[in-house]
Amino acid sequence: MAPARGKLGVMLVGLGAVATTTIAGVLAIRKGLALPIGSLTQMGTIRLGKRTEARAPKIKEFVPLADLNDIVFGGWDIFEEDCYAAARTAGVLDPGQLDQVRGELEAVKPMAAVFDQRYVKRLDGPNVKKGKNKRDLADQVVADIRAFKSKHGCDRLVMIWTGSTEVFMTQTAAHASLAAFEKALEQSDDSIPSSMVYAYAAIREGIPFANAAPNLTADIPAMLELAARTKAPLAGNDMKTGQTLIKTIIAPGLKARLIGVRGWYSTNILGNRDGEVLDDPESFKTKEESKKSALDYIFQPHLYPELYKDLTHVVRINYYPPRGDNKEGWDNIDIFGWLGYPMQLKINFLCRDSILAAPIVLDSALFLDLAKRAGMSGIQEWLSFYFKAPMHAPEVYPEHDLFIQLMKLKNTLRFMRGEELITHLGREYYD
């Protein structure tokens, strides 16, 4: 694969809480002011060969990832404030911590965004592009991409949607092929939300693209066709940070022990901009579909009907402004065991949404850049580890088990470097 020489431009769509926390964090880590906790690309190790060989290098020493000092950040937002001001507004990081990287943050100023309030009803802002149709808007985004790359001397680019959750959408005829999609762009078809305009622009330029929200964005036939043509790697959807992360840890354990589940009630309180957006029923529907799918695939009720077929799964999100970015997730899980005796699990996760999301944005960017240099294009299912509703080939079901996802990710890295894939069979130690 090509080495990671030169600058990597990481372009973020939406410079809100997640994006500004990511940027500020990377800047702090570069200055030696913080540890990259939560980042697999920075702190993770990978076992190579047999357990007796004791080979476990850091992932960043095993595969040629871009160096954090070579990353240049940019992006788009509907608000005009620079990244420092946006981070202060988001209220995730302590002002004293932000001030340590203030100059670099202030240098990141948002480009005018493609935005239509019909798709995110609870937000509005002045820094918005105008165009004769959605094809024109896409062309403007392409012009932004090329100008950013030239201005900052970037050798490679990655784009990640870190914007808000859009209203729930399903595939239409406009999404069925690239020709149909480009015609729909010309006609400003309502089935093309803002996120698709960005994805189209990035993929058209051959740039890796990840969707950190649950929107219907890149996982449509038109985008897959375009990605096959331009060799752009794709990943998504919806970063797995809080409550769903816990589900994909707990549910595989229950299933592994064949413990039955009658009900799983999940409720969240969230006070940041994401919570405000999700207070709209149509945006919540998009998030609900993403959050609810994991248990169905992990438990496989069609294979274990006695244990999981009648599971009642309820998901609630409540907008509660006093909580800010400090999301709280409550889970009540009604389980049953031997001879049908009932038991319960109660989980209260008081988490920090953007603190958990930021390392995922960084890892997604670095791994997608790696995939591009390794000649891998289209859906990168090995990055499912990071997403609630992972993209996958249409003929297979998505893998949601966090531990299987991690095994897939690390085996992909071993495969890239010609190392033996690890099956964990281990018979050679006893034969």
Reported as a single tens digit per residue, the pLDDT across 112-123 is: 999 999 999 888
**DSSP state at residue 168:** P
pLDDT number for residue 321: 86
User: What pTM value is reported for the model?
Assistant: 0.94
Q: Is residue 99 over pLDDT 70?
A: yes
CB neighbour list of residue 310: distance below 8 Å, 6 or more residues apart: 262
Residue 63 has pLDDT above 90, yes or no: yes
Model confidence at 275, pLDDT cuts 50, 70, 90, reads low
Contact call for residues 269 and 325 (beta carbons, < 8 A) = no
Q: Mind listing the pLDDT tens digit for each residue in 157-172?
A: 999 999 999 999 999 9
- Residue 272: pLDDT above 90? no
pLDDT over 90 at 273, yes or no: no
Inform me whether the pLDDT recorded for 326 exceeds 80. yes
pLDDT exceeding 90 applies to what percent of the chain?
A: 86
Which residues lie closer than 8 Å to 99 by C-beta, 6 or more apart?
none
Report d(CA 249, CA 247) in Å as an integer. Answer: 5
Please give the Cα distance from 245 to 294 (Å, whole number): 10
Least confident interval from 184-198, 261-275, 305-319, 329-343: 261-275
What is the residue-averaged pLDDT of the chain? Answer: 94
Confidence tier at 293 by pLDDT (50, 70, 90): confident
Q: Give the pLDDT confidence score for residue 276 in this predicted structure.
A: 67
pLDDT at residue number 278: 62
pLDDT interval class at 284 (50, 70, 90)? low
Task: Please give, one letter per residue, the 3-state secondary structure of the chain.
Answer: CCCCCCEEEEEEECCCHHHHHHHHHHHHHHCCCCCCCCCHHHHCECCECCHHHCECCEHHHHCCCCCHHHEEEEEEECCCCCHHHHHHHHCCCCHHHHHCCHHHHHCCCCEEECCCCCCCCCCCCCCECCCCCHHHHHHHHHHHHHHHHHHHCEEEEEEEECCCCCCCCCCCHHHCCHHHHHHHHHCCCCCCCHHHHHHHHHHHCCCCEEECCCCCCCCCHHHHHHHHHHCCEEEECCECCCHHHHHHHHHHHHHHCCCEEEEEEEEEEECCHHHHHHCCHHHHHHHHHHHHHHHHHHHCCCCCHHHHCCCEEEEEEEECHHHCCCCEEEEEEEEECHHHCEEEEEEEEECCHHHHHHHHHHHHHHHHHHHHHCCCCEECHHHHHHECCCCCCCCCCCCCCHHHHHHHHHHHHHHHCCCCCCCCCCHHHCC
What mean pLDDT is predicted for residues 395-403? 94
Residue 322 confidence class, pLDDT cut points 50, 70, 90: confident
Q: Summarize pLDDT for 204-213 with one digit per residue, the tens.
A: 999 999 999 9
Residue 270 has pLDDT above 90, yes or no: no
Identify the pLDDT of residue 271: 77
For residue 249, pLDDT beyond 80? yes
Q: Check residues 274 and 239 and name the one with the higher pLDDT.
A: 239
